[in-house]
Chains A and B, each alone.
Chain A
C-alpha cells in the first residue's frame, strides 16, 4: 500500500459520534461494529451482504424524508463495487446527505487485499466528476473535526473521503457478532421506519 498519511478509524468515528443527533446512519462492512460500539439509536441501519448498496439505500431514505439528515458510512471497496451510484446520487441531489467514505486502501474484512488503483485514485475526484455539490478529503482527525460542522450545513450531496488506517493486517475469521450481520437490515429497518413516521 502506498505511503499515505492516515487517521485512526476510531478517531474519525468519534468525531461523527459527537455530532450525532437525529440523523439516519447507514453503515456497512468494516465500520459497522466499531460504529455500534459508540453510537446506536433508533435510526441506525446496517448493510451487509450486498456490497456497494449502502449509498443508494441511504439515498432512498433521503428522498423519502428530505428534511431528515442521512449519513452513509461507506467503504472504499464497497463504493468501488457500485461506482455508478455516485451518478445516481448526484442526479437525485439529496439536500441533507453526507456520504462518508472510509478509504483505508484495503478490503479489510476479506484479508486486506488492496483496493484497485490505490494511491492513484480519489473518491473526492470521482464525486466532483459525478456532480456532487461538494467533496472533501481528510487525512487527520483534527482537520475533519474542524470542518464537519460546516459540511453538515452544505446543501448536498456532500462526499467526505476519510483516509483511515486499516483495522487489521490479515484475514480474521468473523466473530459470531459479525456472522449475524447479514440479517441485520430486516431487524433494523422497521424500527427506523417507525421513528421516521413520527418525524
Chain B
C-alpha cells in the first residue's frame, strides 16, 4: 500500500444519498457512470432531488450553472474520464464564471489498496493533479465515515463561489 494507510471501501448508496440530501442539493445533473450506478439508481427512483441526465459533462456544467442562476443548488455527478472531457467548461464556466458548484467524481477502476495518485490507471492517477492545476479543492471519500465531507464541500463551494469536488474512491455498494 503506497501513500495511504487503509484501503478504500465501498460506500453504501443510501449513505451517500443521505449525505447529498443533507448538503441541501436540489438537483442532480449527471452523466451515466458505472462507478456510482447504485447511487444513480436511488436518485432516479426517488423524487426528493430532481435528476437531470445530460449527454456530456460539458452540458452538465453549463446546465448546473443555469440552475444556480435560478436559485437552485445542483450536484454535478460525473466520472474521472468525464472530468478530463470537460476541462474547458470547468475553467470557463465553473471557475471563471464564479459558480458555486459541487462535483461528485467517480474514480472508476481505482485500485482501493493504493492512493489515487499511485494507481496504474492513468484516469485515476491524473484526477487529483488535474484538480490541483485548477486550484479546485477536493475530498477523497474512501469509506462510509467520509460522507460528512459532502456537506463540507458544498459549503466550501458556496463560500468560494467556485467548484469543489468529492471523489468516490471505491465503487458504491
Contact = CB atoms under 8 A, between A and B. Distances in A.
A197 B63 contact: no
A59 B69 CA distance: 11
B96 A85 contact: no
Contacts of B53: 88, 91
Contacts of B59: 53, 56, 82, 84-85, 88
Interface stretch (A44-52, A115-123, A138-146, A160-168): A44-52
A63 B55 contact: no
Interface in B87-133: 88-89, 92-93, 96-99
A21 to B, nearest CB: 18
B65 A60 contact: yes
Contacts of B72: 63-64
A106 interface: no
Interface residues of B, number: 30
B67 interface: yes
Contacts of B68: 60, 189, 193
B62 interface: yes
Contacts of A56: 54, 58-59, 62-63, 66
Contacts of B61: 53
Contacts of B52: 63, 92
Contact of A64 (B71, B88, B97, B98): B71
Contacts of A62: 66
Interface stretch (A10-18, A34-42, A149-157, A180-188): A180-188
Nearest to B67: A60
A61 interface: yes
Nearest to B59: A56
B60 to A, nearest CB: 8
Interface of A: 24, 45, 47, 49-50, 52-54, 56-65, 68, 82, 84-85, 87-88, 91-92, 182-183, 185-186, 189, 192-193, 196-197
Top 4 A-B residue pairs of the complex, sorted by shortest distance between their CB atoms: A60-B66, A64-B70, A84-B55, A50-B92
15 contacts: A50-B58, A54-B62, A57-B63, A57-B93, A58-B66, A60-B63, A60-B64, A60-B70, A62-B66, A63-B52, A82-B59, A88-B54, A91-B53, A185-B97, A189-B68
Interface of B: 27, 50, 52-56, 58-59, 61-72, 74, 88-89, 92-93, 96-99
Given A50-B93, A63-B27, A88-B55, 16 more contacts: A50-B89, A56-B54, A56-B58, A56-B62, A56-B66, A59-B66, A64-B67, A64-B72, A82-B58, A84-B55, A91-B53, A185-B93, A185-B96, A189-B99, A193-B68, A196-B70
